[in-house]
Amino acid sequence: MKELIVATTNQGKVKEIQAMLKDLNIEVKSLKDVYDDVPDIVEDGKTFKENALIKAKYVADDLHKIVLADDSGIEIDAFGKLPGIYSARFLGKDTPYPIINQAIIDAIEGKERTCRFVCALALCIPDQEPILIQETFEGEIHDHIAGVNGFGYDPIFYFPPCQKTSAEMTLEEKNKYSHRAKALKKLYTILKEL
């Protein structure tokens, strides 16, 4: 069985990646599985792709293994595409998502609600050029927090074709429409060929 290290400690992301790659006979591990003391990787890129590559390259160079990194977040058009690459630190690194999500709902009142989730993947394989993939999931900011599935901004990201938030969607629905699912489908094809 091949091993794929995902440069994250976010178990929600790891579960989604495991579900998408389950029939490739790949063991998916998080940073917590391979480090006793998880390194603090400085994400100082200007784009999702740059930050994904920084994380993947750091871990791949350190461990000499195949590493996948994801950088994702939400872009809200009324806020000039913020929080964007700052999604994980928006309103402070330790601010809980229910507080962040309610603040966004309050701030967007009367404004354009269009938004998108963005997912950039960087795959680093020793002695090969990195592979970069980016996909989006278009939606709008919901008028209230809804749903318990997922994490982060999922409870306020409303997807009109399903008439529910990302947090109300089943894993099967998310794996059909989401930004990460679309990017992982492209990655799946690449990994299958490898």
Pairing of strands 2-6, 164-165: unpaired
* Rounded CA separation 123/75 (Å): 23
* Rounded CA separation 74/76 (Å): 6
Task: Confirm whether residue 73 is marked as ligand binding.
Answer: no
Among residues 71, 77, 106, 127, the one annotated as catalytic is 71
Task: Confirm whether residue 71 is marked as ligand binding.
Answer: yes
Longest dimension (CA), the chain: 52
Task: Confirm whether residue 9 is marked as ligand binding.
Answer: yes
Specify the DSSP element, H or E, that contains 6: strand 2-6
Asked about 106 being catalytic, the answer comes back as: no
Structure tokens at 193: 């060929």
Task: Confirm whether residue 10 is marked as ligand binding.
Answer: yes
Task: Confirm whether residue 180 is marked as ligand binding.
Answer: yes
Task: Confirm whether residue 151 is marked as ligand binding.
Answer: yes
Task: Confirm whether residue 163 is marked as ligand binding.
Answer: no
Specify the DSSP element, H or E, that contains 106: helix 97-108
Residues in binding site for substrate: 8-13, 72, 151-154, 174, 179-180
* Active-site annotation, residues: 71
Residues in binding site for Mg(2+): 71
Residues in binding site: 8-13, 71-72, 151-154, 174, 179-180
